[in-house]
Amino acid sequence: MLAQAYLDELCKPAVGESGDITLAEFAERFLEDCSGQWKPTTLKGHRHNLSGQILPFFGTRRLAGIGRGDVLDWQRGLAHLAGTRNRALAVLSSLMHHAELIGLRPPGSNPCVGLRRHKTSFSAQYLDAAGYRKLVIALSEAAGAHPIEVEVIRFLTLTGARRGEVEGLTWFMIDKNRAALPDAKCGPRAIWMGGL
């Protein structure tokens, strides 16, 4: 009963909100309502996408009136890299979904659903035995001038950890041959290291 009351209160539009609310007016509520679900860097990225890619096009438009054609026009006009366009589309889609949840758009009206993401030019490259040999030689040659950087690269190479995870490591996270990350990209995770 208490949970339902909380949901009803959360889903109730704020005072003065109606079908005439603009996307710019709703954007701050979206960020405020959902910020607890995101890490600080994700929130910062969403703010950047809103201010740089979404609000210049949609900011003054009525939230309830934005349709698929509008989103397609917006996508065609974005001059950013494919990865940036894809993230901006994901943020806009999430915003529209939240508007549906709180009753500012009809259920199932998200104009971003089903739109194709732009293909990125990113191509992962994996080292074979010869590639690893070259890396080991290059790191050995650079170790005298850049010992810390070389050790970080070795650690990244041997553990498969993300750069941000390694940069955020502290001694209290190290437990014998394991680094226990309390808050990695997808939640707590362990990075296993070889024995000394």
Burial of 188 (0-12, 13-18, 19+ CB in 10 A): exposed
Range list of H helices, the chain = 2-11, 23-34, 40-49, 55-58, 68-77, 82-101, 129-142, 147-159, 163-167
Alpha carbons 13 and 25: distance in angstroms, whole number: 12
The domains located in the chain, with CATH, are 2-101 (1.10.150), 129-192 (no CATH)
Walk along the chain (196 residues) and give the pLDDT tens digit of each residue: 455 544 444 544 443 445 589 999 999 999 999 988 888 888 899 999 999 989 999 999 999 999 999 999 998 888 767 778 889 999 999 999 999 999 999 999 999 998 876 665 666 778 889 998 999 999 999 999 999 999 888 888 888 888 888 888 888 888 888 888 887 766 788 888 875 4
Burial of 31 (0-12, 13-18, 19+ CB in 10 A): middle
Tell me the torsion sign for CA atoms 167, 147, 126, 117.
positive
Beta bridge partners of 14: none
Considering the entire predicted model, what is its pTM? 0.61
Which residue matches tokens 């959902």? 34
Do 152 and 166 form a contact (C-beta atoms < 8 A)?
yes
